Structure 1
Amino acid sequence: MSILGYLQRVGRALMVPVATLPAAAILMGVGYWIDPVGWGGDSALAAFFIKSGSAIIDNMSVLFAIGVAYGMSKDKDGAAALTGFVGFLVLTTLCSPAAVSMIKHIPADQVPAAFGKIQNQFIGILVGIISAELYNRFSGVELPKALSFFSGRRLVPILTSFVMIIVAFILMLVWPIIYDGLVAFGEHIQKMGSAGAGVYAFFNRLLIPVGLHHALNSVFWFDVAGINDIPNFLGGAQSLAAGKAEVGITGRYQAGFFPIMMFGLPGAALAIYHCARPENKAKVLGIMMAGAFAAFFTGITEPLEFSFMFVAPALYVIHAILSGISVFIAASMQWIAGFGFSAGLVDLVLSTRNPLATHWYMLIPQGLVFFVIYYVVFRFAIVKFNMMTPGRELAVAGSEADGEDKNLSANGEQDIPQLARQYIAAVGGSDNLTGIDACITRLRLSVKDSSVVNDAMAKRLGASGIIRLNNTSVQIIVGFVAEKIANSMKTVGHVDAAPAGDADPAPVAKAQAVSSGAQTLVTLVSPVTGDVVALNDVPDEAFASKAVGDGVAVKPTEKTVVSPAAGTVVKIFNTNHAFCLETAEGAEIVVHMGIDTVALGGQGFTRLVEEGAQVAAGQPVLEMDLSFLNANARSMISPVVCSNIDDFGGLVVKASGSVVAGQTPLYEIKAK
């Protein structure tokens, strides 16, 4: 694995301990709201909340050790987390001032100050990485029978304890040098004052495409270089009393993000929507509204940023520059607010009663100004330089580009296991896939050869971007459902790669390969009146490559859609454009009316039965407004596929030319 790929793994693992910060932010925020003057001194209830939150903040270093060890472990087992905890205890105890004084035989007052800061997030990350590597290497080791109790996962904490003794002796020599270097770096940034905060914010945004912003954040947000901005801010009164925080200073590496995330990016979203072609505005509106709401309310900006990051990289650089300017302005003016998760409305409200929040309300007018700046700058740049932001692709790409922009917030409509199989096919199949992980909106995949990843197919499945970090690391932007898809990808099993050529063999060719003596288990009738289309002629890579399943398609000429066989309707999509049927024989049939019709938001479709209904072959399930659909859908060619055809002996296509709904046999599914 390359250095960049390894740092990616570390960045992903850091999300585990960082995910505990919202709990601290909420608990301490509620406490400060209850007692904004005494900060827990005048209210037992407020003290209860503040102390509960500080329990997390005060132990962030050990949480980093546990979280990174768990996050980088190969199977996300609790034993890996325990290993990280054991390693942290051993290392920090051996490198404590008292232990150093005893081991080195030097007076306590001569112990370097660095050892008084050994319990910090940097050491936590280091311990977590070492513990995870030991776990991944030795958790499967089998010892001789007499020692079998200590085999496997039980062996790892023991090994970690001994390894940490060696690491402790090394740190006794190098930790003072490392610590002094980190402090010097932090002091250099601090000496730059507000300008340093702006420089940090600029690089924070630039590193997001490769996921390395987490490593940069650790320097400024946590106690790696002596800054510790987030914990000190969330500590509020406690930090002030301990001399760890300064009003108007602590929080300056956070405050300026509020105007960007709550206002600036929504302004960019509005500009992108206004610049979309008229026929695409309905789809773009859905994408931009969902992304803008997520950014404003929670501070999660990836759905918006990835919508233009790669199609218009110049805009993303402008975004990074404006982010730096915003953080610089807020820091210079001492308009301070902080966050435990991200710079959205929730964190802004929670931080308003924090004693370290100064003139926080000025971030709102600053945000309104940045809303206008983002809107004007983005709209001017998009139009002036004809940038291909979402909804403008048809200007140069032709009709084939239409439909590739999917609403990332609509992932709840999709069958996750089926989508997981399709993404495995899109990256070259299981044989090309060596590692699966995810963050909030991204599939982070390790592959043998990134060049075989099918970008077009991934975008048809709903991905808004594909990032090739190197020959073996790929990220696919899928929205908030990323973790569900990744988990499902780990369990769905083998999936063949999508073909590199133009198409799979036609269904007839597969039919000829089925044994002539194979028993017919079920015969499907056409679900709609119309004309038969071979599956490899369907204008959608996922269906044409047979990643979804095998079958045929029909271009409808009548409005009624019926069940192609007797069975149970196990799923009707919220937009009513497709349904899944399970027959008594176990065949899983997907009837998908049109291509990219999910983007119509349910317009043109009416369901006639509900999920869970038992239906007979030929029973009406949907009704379509064909005039509307033919005018607005990308294509009304409608695939009818068996998604689990591998469980059977194959299928034989029986129809050609014109077919009649509920009457004309479409294909037969054969027994193995």
Structure 2
Amino acid sequence: MMNYLQRLGRSLMLPVAVLPAAAVLLGVGAWIGQFSWGEDSVVSAFMIAAGDSIIGNMGMLFALGVALGLSKDKDGAAALSGLVAFLVITEVLSVESVAELSQIAVDDVNPAFGVITNQFIGILSGVVASIMYNRFSHVQLPAALAFFSGKRLVPIVTAAVMMALSAVFFYIWPYVYNGLVTFGMWISQLDFIGAGLYGFFNRLLIPTGLHHALNSVFWFDVAGINDIGNYWDGEGEVGITGRYQAGFFPIMMFGVPAAALAMYHTAHASKKKQIGSLMLAAGFAAFLTGVTEPIEFAFMFVAPLLFVVHAALTGLSLAIAAFFQWTAGFSFSAGLLDFFLGFPLEMANQPYMLLIQGVIFGVVYYVLFRFLIVKFNLMTPGREPEGEGLDISEEPTELEGSNKMAMMASTIYQALGGDDNVVSIDNCVTRLRLEVKDMGKVDQAKIKQTGVPGINVVSDHNIQVVVGTQVQFVADEMNKIRKN
């Protein structure tokens, strides 16, 4: 079950990765509209409408992404089935359709059906489509119906299942929706404390990958909060909308890079050069894009105390930003690029204060991390006994040049036990998600020789390797090796 939920969380990142495109369009469009020459500008309106076309259809994108991500061989037929599933349930349970089925006026239809195209339904549609694909994509029908065999059968079966599910949701969706709204309202009524609790659990769930599921409740239109969508659409309340995003900027842009600096300064002198290059690249990525996992995985398992402190500081940052009603929004993650694009939007409220907060948090992170590392002799990267830990010196030529990704993939694949031991290869934004037959055959030391920031053994058969934002290319090369 845990493995399935992790795969679901990873699948959600595919549609979420589309959001930066919407951010660019909405951000630049809003920026143009700020100037006198941009008022009522056709260019501004054109770009905002294009951005809204993505933000407004996140439910459909979730259906496509989840179906593709959870299908066993990532085939396009699974994504098509996800779209079919989403269209069936959203059309059958649209306000007009429900009014006709219930023989009532449109105005009397339960408001729950007015938001049936939300991301929750998208996720559900994707899950159903992936199950149908994994079950029926290789089914052979009798000769008379052979044309509809295999992958062509999947959308048909998916449509039938979704029709049945639509009949069920006709009765239960109002209760489900009201339950989600109640949960969201409960959190929102906790004001800045609720934002702080969300931030704390958001970081704490990272090792399991379940933070994506938690994010969907607050960032998207699952429980009626829709913090990201409302922020970029300019809907909601200034100082409130964006509170589940704003506090991440001080952490991603300043706190985590400061933690990386502390780990570099406390590393053994003999390892500072290689740790420095690793932390510099990861810290710059965190500041610019908000992708912090390469740094977080470098200490979350070797020094759990630091990770708990990190989660607590994240919660504190969100609580502070929410308390003072400083708001800023992101489309992908809380880095400089999203901060710049979201700065001129209508829902932004004193976003520059987040930079000041960020500098303060950067100092707090550095002092706390350095003190705790030295005080408790924590084995962060570069502090391991000689001969252990990160070591890329043994194979310097193998991982250099234009073929670096292929060489890294080859080394990791062989260290996993090769064809005889590797069951599946997948990836999220920064991590390889790997399933093996026997964890005892995995050579973790050899994997570390490639210079990866961290390794996470999830279970007896599942292991994650933190590569960084180029992880997709490593995964692609590993899949090529596996197929040959």
Q: The TM-score by the shorter chain falls in which range?
A: over 0.9
Give the counterpart of 2:238 among 247, 255, 259.
247
The aligned runs of 1:393-404 (5 Å cut-off) are 393-394=384-385, 398-401=386-389, 403=391
Q: How much has 1:180 moved relative to structure 2? A: 1.1
Contact 1:39 1:46 in 2 (8 A): no
For 1:33, the equivalent position in structure 2 comes to: 31
* 1:428 match: 417
Equivalences for 1:281-296 in 2 at 5 Å?
A: 281-296=272-287
1:124 maps to 122
Distance 2:174 2:326 in 1: 35
Report the structure, 1 or 2, having the larger strand content.
1
Paired residues in the alignment total 481
Matched, 1:477 2:466: yes
TM superposition shift of 1:252: 0.4
Q: After TM superposition, list the pairs within 5 Å mapping 1:48-63 onto structure 2.
A: 48-63=46-61
* 1:476-511 per-position Cα deviation (integer Å, ceiling 9, x unaligned): 11223321121122221379xxxxxxxxxxxxxxxx
Deviation, 1:271, is 1.1
2:173 partner SS: helix
Residue 492 of structure 1 aligns to a residue whose secondary structure is helix
Instruction: Say if 1:327 and 1:38 are closer, same or farther in 2 by CA, change over 3 A.
Output: farther
- How does the TM-score come out when normalised to structure 1? 0.69
User: Which of 156, 163, 166 is 2:161 aligned to?
Assistant: 163
**What's the counterpart of residue 459 of structure 1?**
448
* SS state at 1:437 partner: strand
Q: CA RMSD in A?
A: 2.1
Q: Which has the higher helix share?
A: 2
Q: Say whether the 8 Å CA contact 1:406–1:462 is kept in structure 2.
A: no
Equivalent in the alignment of 2:360 = 369
Change (3 A) 1:378 1:188: same
Aligned-partner Cα distance in 2 for 1:101–1:436: 47
Residues 491 and 399 of structure 1, relative CA distance in 2, 3 Å threshold? closer
State the AA in 1 paired with 2:43: L
Q: What's the CA shift for 1:454? A: 2.0
* Other structure's SS at 2:435 match: strand
Report how far residue 233 of structure 1 moved.
0.6
Residue of structure 2 equivalent to 1:441:
430
- Larger mean CA deviation between 62-71 and 398-407 belongs to 398-407
Match of 1:269 among 245, 260, 267: 260
1:309 paired residue among 283, 300, 322? 300
TM-score (norm 2): 0.95
Amino acid at match of 1:361: Y
* Amino acid paired to 2:92: L
- 1:555-574 map, 5 Å: none
Q: What is the CA distance between 1:145 and its match in structure 2?
A: 2.2
Deviation at 1:416, TM superposition (A): 3.2
Q: Distance in 2 between matches of 1:358 and 1:120?
A: 27
Letter in 1 for 2:140: E
Q: 1:36 to 1:153 in 2, by over 3 A?
A: same
Q: Is the 8 A contact 2:391 2:451 kept in 1?
A: no
- Cα 1:62/1:38, change in 2 over 3 Å: farther
- Aligned partner of 2:317 in structure 1 is 326
Alignment map for 1:199-218 (pairs within 5 Å): 199-218=197-216
Q: Specify the alignment match of 1:490 in structure 2.
A: 479
Distance 1:301 1:334 in 2: 25
Identity %: 55
SS in 2 for 1:470: coil
What per-residue deviation string (whole Å, max 9, x for no partner) do you get for residues 547-591 of structure 1?
xxxxxxxxxxxxxxxxxxxxxxxxxxxxxxxxxxxxxxxxxxxxx
Q: CA deviation at 1:199?
A: 0.6
Deviation at 1:420, TM superposition (A): 2.5
Cα distance 1:114–1:418, how it changes in 2: closer, same or farther (>3 A)? same
The CA distance in 1 between the partners of 2:212 and 2:383, in whole Å, is 32
Q: Does the C-alpha gap of structure 1 residues 344 and 415 become closer, same or farther in structure 2, counting only changes over 3 Å?
A: closer
Contact 1:283 1:406 in 2 (8 A): no
What is the Cα deviation at residue 404 of structure 1? 5.8
TM-superposed CA distance for 1:42, in Å, is 2.0
Q: Distance in 1 between matches of 2:406 and 2:352?
A: 45
- The separation in 2 between residues aligned to 1:30 and 1:383, in whole angstroms, is 46
1:113 aligns with 2:104: no
**Measured at CA, do residues 413 and 303 of structure 1 come closer, stay the same or move farther in structure 2, by a change above 3 Å?**
farther
Q: 1:97 and 1:216 mapped to 2: Cα distance?
A: 28
**SS of 1:467's equivalent?**
strand
Q: Which amino acid aligns with 2:67?
A: A
Change (3 A) 1:114 1:491: same
Matched-pair contact (CA < 8 Å) for 1:295–1:301? yes
Q: Distance in 1 between matches of 2:401 and 2:34?
A: 40
The one-letter amino acid of 1:61's match is G
Q: Which residue of 2 aligns with 1:11?
A: 9
Match of residue 598 from structure 1: none
Q: CA, structure 1 residues 10+406, in 2 after alignment: closer, same or farther (shift >3 Å)?
A: farther
Structure 1 residue aligned with 2:44: 46
Give runs of aligned pairs for residues 253-652 of structure 1, distance below 5 A: 253-394=244-385, 398-401=386-389, 403=391, 414-493=403-482
Cα deviation, residue 222, structure 1: 0.1
Distance 1:133 1:182 in 2: 25
Residues 71 and 39 of structure 1, relative CA distance in 2, 3 Å threshold: farther
CA distance in 1, matches of 2:225, 2:57: 16
Quote the offset at 1:172 in angstroms: 1.4
Q: What SS does structure 2 have at the residue aligned with 1:11?
A: helix
Q: What's the offset of the Cα at 1:411?
A: 7.7
Runs of at least 5 residues in structure 2 that lack an aligned partner in the other structure? none
Following TM superposition, by how much is the alpha carbon of 1:268 offset from its aligned partner in structure 2, in angstroms? 1.0
Larger relative contact order (C-alpha < 8 A, sep ≥ 6)? 2
Match 1:24 to one of 22, 25, 32: 22
Residue 602 of structure 1 is matched in structure 2 by: none
